[in-house]
């Protein structure tokens, strides 16, 4: 429950502009996701959604999670980038039965952001994050690897509604790929051969998101599609499909604000 609640915090999104500096609320959210990218086993969770938004001069909590401006010049800034992945039980996934469960992962590192174009309600940005990845079962923390996902982000910001379109490519090191797709010899079976993943390309991602906020109500939704048909680990016996979809929907009531 705690793991899923923590990750549902990332579902909430909000708008910038003439908004309060701090907002606090509570709602409900549903999230559909595969056990891992490449798995055909999926889950749906519906849980309470804490709504926390902070728009400081140097630190903010928004649709991209936690970010902090480390420095900024015209059209170019360096921010703190945070991401993560959901935990998954191996016993509920046929191809991973007998292997260790996949724990909750957290990613953190710097992100270079370049403002390519901005006019009216339109904003086009290029983002280049580099994040270290850690996993936890809430008893210990382990190093997983390093990832980067260069992406183009296009936003349309209206008075109460924001559309966001993102397209990206992902790369990761051998440790990260083996965390999800490697099969050590002690876990090999007649239908699951030993597999050692390599560094390199992890796949493509496209995401569409929309949020609506007016007075004390907020609503948001997103759909993400991952394509790993050209990934370096595509031959792993743990890859059941080359497509993955994530979908989320949430609504929250904002009951406390500070301007």
**Predicted confidence (pLDDT) at residue 172 exceeds the cutoff of 50:** yes
**SS3 of 202, please?**
strand
- Rg of the chain over Cα atoms, rounded to whole angstroms, equals 19
**Mean pLDDT estimate for the chain:** 88
Q: What is the pLDDT of residue 92?
A: 84
71: exposed, middle or buried (C-beta count within 10 Å: 0-12, 13-18, 19+)?
Answer: exposed
**Mean pLDDT throughout 48-58?**
79
Q: Which residue has the higher pLDDT, 128 or 63?
A: 128
**Predicted confidence (pLDDT) at residue 16 exceeds the cutoff of 50:** no
DSSP conformation class of 100? P
Q: Which residue has the higher pLDDT, 224 or 8?
A: 224
Share of the chain above pLDDT 70, in %: 86
**Mean pLDDT throughout 157-166?**
94
Q: Distance between CA 10 and CA 179 in Å, rounded?
A: 22
**Mean pLDDT throughout 207-219?**
94
pLDDT band at 68 (very low <50, low <70, confident <90, very high): low
**Mean pLDDT throughout 21-25?**
87
Q: What is the pLDDT of residue 137?
A: 92
- Which segments of the chain does DSSP mark as H helices, in order? 2-8, 174-181
Q: Distance between CA 112 and CA 204 in Å, rounded?
A: 19
**Predicted confidence (pLDDT) at residue 235 exceeds the cutoff of 60:** yes
pLDDT band at 53 (very low <50, low <70, confident <90, very high): confident
Q: Which domains does the chain have, with CATH numbers?
A: 2-258 (2.40.230)
**Predicted confidence (pLDDT) at residue 3 exceeds the cutoff of 70:** no
**Which pTM was predicted?**
0.84
**Predicted confidence (pLDDT) at residue 7 exceeds the cutoff of 60:** no
**Mean pLDDT throughout 99-127?**
94
Give 153-157 contacts, CB < 8 A, sequence gap 24+.
Answer: 153/123, 153/124, 153/125, 153/126, 153/127, 154/122, 154/123, 154/124, 154/125, 155/122, 155/123, 155/124, 155/125, 156/121, 156/122, 157/15, 157/16, 157/17, 157/121, 157/123
**Mean pLDDT throughout 10-31?**
67
**SS3 of 244, please?**
strand
């Amino acid at each position: 429950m705690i793991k899923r609640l923590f990750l549902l915090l990332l579902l909430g999104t909000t708008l910038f502009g003439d908004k309060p500096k701090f907002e606090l609320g509570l709602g409900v959210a549903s999230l559909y996701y595969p056990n891992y990218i490449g798995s055909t086993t999926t889950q749906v969770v519906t849980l309470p959604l804490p709504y926390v938004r902070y728009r400081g001069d140097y630190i903010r909590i928004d649709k991209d999670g936690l970010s902090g401006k480390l420095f900024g010049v015209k059209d170019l800034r360096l921010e703190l980038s945070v991401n993560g992945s959901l935990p998954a039980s191996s016993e509920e996934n046929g191809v991973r039965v007998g292997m260790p469960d996949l724990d909750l992962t957290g990613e953190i590192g710097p992100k270079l952001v370049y403002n390519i174009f901005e006019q009216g309600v339109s904003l086009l940005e290029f983002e280049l994050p580099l994040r270290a990845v850690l996993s936890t079962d809430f008893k210990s923390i382990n190093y997983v690897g390093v990832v980067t996902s260069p992406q183009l982000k296009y936003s349309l910001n209206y008075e109460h509604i924001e559309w966001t379109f993102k397209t990206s490519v992902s790369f990761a090191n051998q440790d990260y790929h083996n965390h999800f797709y490697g099969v050590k010899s002690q876990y090999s079976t007649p239908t699951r051969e030993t597999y050692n993943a390599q560094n390199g390309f992890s796949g493509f991602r496209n995401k569409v998101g929309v949020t609506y906020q007016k007075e004390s109500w907020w609503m948001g939704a997103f759909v993400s599609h991952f394509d790993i048909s050209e990934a370096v680990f595509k031959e792993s016996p743990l890859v059941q499909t080359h497509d993955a979809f994530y979908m989320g929907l949430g609504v929250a009531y904002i009951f406390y604000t500070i301007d």
